[in-house]
Amino acid sequence: MIQGIGTDIVEVSRIEKIIEKWGPRFIERVYTPGEIEYCSKKAFPAMHFAARFAVKESILKSLGIGLGKGLRLRDIEVLNNQEGSPFLQSNDAVKEVFRRRGISGVHISITHTKKYAQAVVILEK
């Protein structure tokens, strides 16, 4: 059964400017080492960082919670399987929120152009 859906679109240039201004301070506050490694080795890292930002906000949206309500952006980790498909790597904070709400599965889809990155998230009960 579908428990929730969330979507978000992020302007890649917005993330690019924040990274230029704040560098590692921003990146390490928002992204996990696995995400940083994945995005950094891409030809246009900001596009992939923006996509992951969109996923993180989409997860919060799908849960119906805002920032500061139990999860931090860095708790939400997006990795890619061998085929390139994105998946959520849940840390303990995420697992606890999902356990309380009876969420058994999370589906993520990402798309991006040089201008925009978009994510869709579906939560399954």
Stretch that binds ligand COA, among 14-22, 62-70, 82-90, 91-99 (CB under 6 A): 82-90
For residue 61, indicate whether it is catalytic: yes
Residues 91-120 that bind ligand COA (CB under 6 A): 110-112
Tokens 């009876």 correspond to 102
For residue 107, indicate whether it is catalytic: no
Give the strand order in the sheet containing 105-112. 2-11, 116-124, 105-112
Determine contact, residues 94/103, Cβ cutoff 8 Å.
no
Helices (H) and strands (E) in the chain, counts: 5, 5
Of 17, 48, 56, 61, catalytic: 61
Based on the shown chain and the rule CB under 6 A, indicate whether residue 80 belongs to the binding site for ligand COA.
yes
Based on the shown chain and the rule CB under 6 A, indicate whether residue 51 belongs to the binding site for ligand COA.
yes
Our CB check for ligand COA shows the closer of 22 and 87 to be 87
Determine contact, residues 111/86, Cβ cutoff 8 Å.
no
Based on the shown chain and the rule CB under 6 A, indicate whether residue 86 belongs to the binding site for ligand COA.
yes
The helix-helix angle for 45-63 and 33-40 (nearest 10°) equals 140
Q: Locate 32 and state its tokens.
A: 């996990």
Our CB check for ligand COA shows the closer of 70 and 109 to be 109
| Contact residues: ligand COA, CB under 6 A | 48, 51, 80, 83-86, 110-112
Catalytically active residues are 61, 112
